Structure 1
Amino acid sequence: MKKLLLLALLAAIMAGGYFFMREEPAKEENSPTGTTAEVERGSIVERVDSDGKVVSNLDVEIKCKASGEVVSLPYDVSQKVKKGALIAELDPVDEKRSVRQAKAALESARAKLTSAKEELLLEEANLSSERGRANSAIIAASAKEEDSRAKAKRIEELLASKLASREEYDTARTTAVTAEADLKEARLSLDEIEAKERALEVTRQSIRIAETEVEIKKIALEVAEQRLADTKVVSPLDGIVTTREVQVGQIISSPISNVGGGTTLMTISDLSRLFVLASVDEADIGKITLDQPTIITVDAYPSKKFDGRVVQISPKGVNVSNVVTFEVKIEVTSEDKNLLLPEMTAAIEITISSSDNTLLIPDGAIYRKKGENFVFVVDASGGNTERKIEVG
């Protein structure tokens, strides 16, 4: 691109309108040579040129959590895919079998839990009945023991008064001792019932274990169902299939169980937004700011220019063979951006600054003398007048 320089001239230059055009680049000398050119007004733009490549908004490598044989691949390269669409399926026969086994194991665990609960209820009911009978027996034995003891004491008093025989006393005494023994036996029965109640804690603990087993089997079923669901792969985004790495009938590995990262099925790209990644030299990176306009061209459409804007500037440079560049991300904003494809090589022109209605002269019209810039202005009489100028 031919560089144009801003010429700030005095009113006299505008009046003259012509100056010498040099055939060689400006250098220190005292006399002009060359042809004349007219001062013009126009636009001047400062740009930074760079090269880059077109990239998509997002590229997602699709892998399957499960391992097995691919039985379905509904989409091929370049086809559009909607988010949630089925894009791959593995043979689910093993996973279906695992689900059935997990369901059977869960039903078995639930049956054992139900049986243990019913057994506990039955034991608690029997124990309650036994406790009732034991309490009744203690009450009856206690009354009988008290009555027998009182009767034996009265007969003992009558025996001392010679009003009862020795045989009657012995009989009453035997009856009292027997009643006392019956009371102790009734109380022992109650102690046995309390021991049985403590034994019920073992049954209750078995129920808690059975409940835990049911939860374990539920989790195992959920895992089996998830593995079955994992045999179907759905698209995580709207996009286009840009690569497909496998075919129907191929055996693939899971990234979860394979240390190598598993098999990539395909790549889906989001092309709703397109970007260009440009490498800008470190000498120019200080001029780049966000939202600066850009012009993008590609070899596929050499006569077409695409608009863009700077959306990201890398804070860290890349050093290759002692040449440092910074990555600048540019979003393509043209309506026909869909003509661009990922990985296309692009030429970038980033607009740094611009000025309209500016005095313009070719670079060859300027010469330097003692560190300052000069031009020769052609006056009305055809003579040449040397004028000092400032360029920018």
Structure 2
Amino acid sequence: MSEQTLSSEEGSSTQADATRQKRKKLLSLVAILFIIGVVVYVIWHVFFSQSEDTDNAYVGANTAQVNSVISGQVQQVLVDDTQYVHAGDVVIKLDDRDAKIAVAQAEADLLKVKRQYGQTEANSDSLTSQIRATDSAIQSQQAQVNKAQSDLIRAQKDLERRTALNASGAISKEEYTTAQNALNTAQANLALNKAGLAQAISNQKVAESNLKANEALIKGTTSNTTPDVLAAQAKLDQANLNLTRTVIKAPIDGIITNRNVQVGQTISSGSALMLIVPIHALYVDANFKENQLAHVKPGQVVKLTSDLYGDDVVFHGTVVGLSGGTGAAFALIPAQNATGNWIKVVQRLPVRIHLQPEELKKHPLRVGLSMTATVDLKSD
């Protein structure tokens, strides 16, 4: 019985040793294959790889912000978040009553200055007639001066004769006094008529000066081109423009998002009311490691997949360009690498990739979705 037991134990030990030897050989083979695979992958990746890929990529878009250029109260909001709109669609209406009043006031001001221009033209005609009238008055007054001078000469001669007769007693003192009074009257009449002539000349100069000033206001202009009319017309144009701005329209095609305006709200000029995302003009910012970018160039073909659709849907894009700096360089609080405990961190640089609009129409994406991008380095 003991011999049989010993034989059985020896057989079991031999079988166990054989099993262990097989396991060691199998594990060694697996380890060798793993090492060979790693070496082949490294050699291929370093020397033969023709692409670079990253899963740190996200969908972006040049969104359009809808603002109000004027202040006013919101009368209607015609869209809501997630709604698709076309460029030119009305999205918001403001209360336009104040704007209409401003237009009416501007129209009245324009009519007023045009009427003033017409009055200025009429004043020119009136002043021209006035100058012609002063010509006649000057001529008439000059004739009066000439007559007064003749009367004065005649009175002087008459007084001289009577002075000689008075010395001989041939005339009475009363007659001599009358001659002296006549001379005084003639002198006074001449002075009076000269003053009248000077006044007529002065009136003509004033009329001529007024005419020149009036002509300066309208010279080279018409009722539509005078500065006052142009200024009033500009105010009317601005009032009409503000009236049109009470109707706010979508600037581009896209989906409404971030709507933050309500009916009845009073908004100020420049207020951000909502965003429009152009889902047919999206791009991808792929953040590649700095050691992946040596051969990445604009124009290279990119294949992309999204977490939304999985690997079954492949998007095709083109490298547009590389960012001017890493994300860390433009962070709100940049890293302070000058400290004593600095640790090197591999940086990533955003690469802008343009997506094909036709593919986006078939499989729409949204801003912020994750993507996996593979750049074909041979495609340049």
Please indicate the TM-score interval, normalised by the length of the shorter structure.
0.5 to 0.7
Distance 1:252 1:49 in 2: 50
Alignment CA distance shift 1:277-1:130 (3 Å): same
Q: Higher mean Cα deviation, 187-196 or 228-237?
A: 187-196
Amino acid across the alignment from 1:177: Q
C-alpha deviations, 1:257-304, integer Å up to 9, x for none? xxxxx232x322334433211000011122211222221111222222
Distance 1:172 1:24 in 2: 149
1:184 to 183, 186, 194: 194
1:328 to 351, 361, 365: 351
Quote how far apart the aligned CAs of 1:154 are: 5.1
> Alignment RMSD, CA only?
4.0
Q: Report 1:134-173 matches (<5 A).
A: 134-138=138-142, 140-152=143-155, 155=158, 167=176, 170=180, 173=183
Aligned residue in 2 for 1:54: 59
Distance 1:212 1:335 in 2: 55
Question: Does residue 283 of the first structure (1) align with residue 291 of the second (2)?
Answer: yes
Stretches of structure 2 that go unaligned for 5 or more consecutive residues are 1-28, 38-47, 219-225, 336-344
C-alpha deviations, 1:114-153, integer Å up to 9, x for none? 5566456545534542442133212x12321343344346
Alignment CA distance shift 1:249-1:203 (3 Å): same
- % identical equivalent positions: 19
Counterpart secondary structure, 2:302:
strand
Distance 1:253 1:171 in 2: 91
Question: Does residue 245 of the first structure (1) align with residue 259 of the second (2)?
Answer: yes
Greater strand percent: which structure?
1
Question: Does residue 89 of the first structure (1) align with residue 93 of the second (2)?
Answer: yes
Alignment CA distance shift 1:177-1:84 (3 Å): same
Aligned residue in 2 for 1:345: 370
TM-score under structure 2 length normalisation:
0.66
Amino acid across the alignment from 2:100: K
C-alpha deviations, 1:42-74, integer Å up to 9, x for none? xx7532121211223x31011111233333344
Q: State whether residues 64 and 254 of structure 1, in contact with CA within 8 Å, keep that contact through their aligned partners in structure 2.
A: yes
Aligned residue in 2 for 1:308: 317
Distance 2:264 2:357 in 1: 42
C-alpha deviations, 1:170-213, integer Å up to 9, x for none? 476356425423432322322541574488489859979xx876
Aligned pair count reads: 308
1:221 to 231, 236, 241: 236
Q: State whether residues 303 and 375 of structure 2, in contact with CA within 8 Å, keep that contact through their aligned partners in structure 1.
A: yes
Amino acid across the alignment from 2:57: G
Quote how far apart the aligned CAs of 1:341 are: 0.8
Aligned residue in 1 for 2:73: 69
Counterpart secondary structure, 1:53:
strand
Distance 1:351 1:144 in 2: 115
Distance 1:244 1:71 in 2: 19
Alignment CA distance shift 1:203-1:306 (3 Å): closer
Aligned residue in 1 for 2:305: 297
Distance 1:334 1:98 in 2: 45
Counterpart secondary structure, 1:328:
strand
The higher-RCO structure (CA 8 Å, 6+ apart) is 1
Q: State whether residues 80 and 259 of structure 2, in contact with CA within 8 Å, keep that contact through their aligned partners in structure 1.
A: no
Quote how far apart the aligned CAs of 1:335 are: 4.0
Counterpart secondary structure, 1:304:
strand
1:23 to 22, 29, 33: 33
Distance 1:70 1:263 in 2: 13
Greater helix percent: which structure?
2
Distance 1:236 1:335 in 2: 22
Alignment CA distance shift 1:330-1:297 (3 Å): same
Counterpart secondary structure, 1:329:
strand
Counterpart secondary structure, 2:50:
strand
Distance 2:324 2:314 in 1: 28
Q: State whether residues 292 and 350 of structure 1, in contact with CA within 8 Å, keep that contact through their aligned partners in structure 2.
A: yes
Amino acid across the alignment from 1:25: I
